[in-house]
Structures are given as structure tokens and as C-alpha cells.
Homo-oligomer: A and B are copies of this chain.
Amino acid sequence: MTDSDPLDAVFGALAHPVRRQILARLAEQDATVNELAEPFDMSLPAISKHLRVLEAAGIISRGKRAQFRPCHLEPEPLEAVAGWADQYRHIWQARFDAMTRAIETMKGKADD
């Protein structure tokens, strides 16, 4: 029973466009399941399942107001994603720097 990396669930949750759209919506404001479902041509249970995936990954949490379950975005896992990707920043930075130098060289030649 090796407990799996939480990033597995986070990246898995982010792999579906519907779920990313839901997050974009929640970034603006908390919303109920019906509100979140509205833009999609999809059954309500399907949306409910997507929300469960997001919740299992810790990316959203849910309240309980009357018969509504308002969803709330939890930013920490997204911060973890940014942190993970930042590990590789020096690699694309290096590529960017090389490009910049190449452009500078071309400028130098153009000045001849």
C-alpha cells in the first residue's frame, strides 16, 4: 500500500476540459452544482462526478447550504502544480536565453 503522490490525482483531475472550465468558473465565485452544470450539454450526474474528482484531488471543497452544495476553489493544489512545473523553469529559461542571444547576434550582423 504505497500511498500515491497527491499530484497523481491533481494532474488527473486537470486532464479533463470540463473540469478545467469548472475551475475557471469557480475562480470567479463559488457556485452550486446546477450553476456549474449550466454551460455544459451534459447530464447533472456527469457534472456531479466531475466535481467529485476535483474534490478528491483537493482542488475544490463543498459547503452545505440548504439543499445546495456550493463549491469553492481550494488553491493549494494548483500552487503545487505551479511549483512542480517551476522545477523545469531553468530548462525553458535556458532555451529562451539562447534564442535571445541568437537574436542579438543577428542584430549585430545586420549592423555591419
* A23 neighbours in B (Cβ, 8 Å): 88
Pick the contact of A86: B11, B24, B76, B82 (CB < 8 A): B82
B85 contacts A85, C-beta separation under 8 Å:
yes
Binds B, one of A13-21, A36-44, A63-71, A102-110: A13-21
Best-surrounded residue of A4, A12, A23, A78 (most CB of chain B within 10 A): A78
Q: Which of A69-88 contact B (CB under 8 A)?
A: 73, 75-76, 78-79, 81-82, 85-88
* A86 neighbours in B (Cβ, 8 Å): 82
Give how many copies assemble into the complex: 2
| A73 vs B91: C-alpha distance when bound (angstroms) | 9
B85 contacts A82, C-beta separation under 8 Å:
yes
* A16 neighbours in B (Cβ, 8 Å): 8
**Minimal beta-carbon separation of A12 from chain B (angstroms):** 4
If A73-B88, A73-B91, A76-B92 are given as contacts, then 7 extra A-B residue pairs at C-beta distance below 8 Å, sorted by A number, are A11-B14, A15-B15, A79-B85, A79-B92, A82-B86, A82-B89, A85-B85
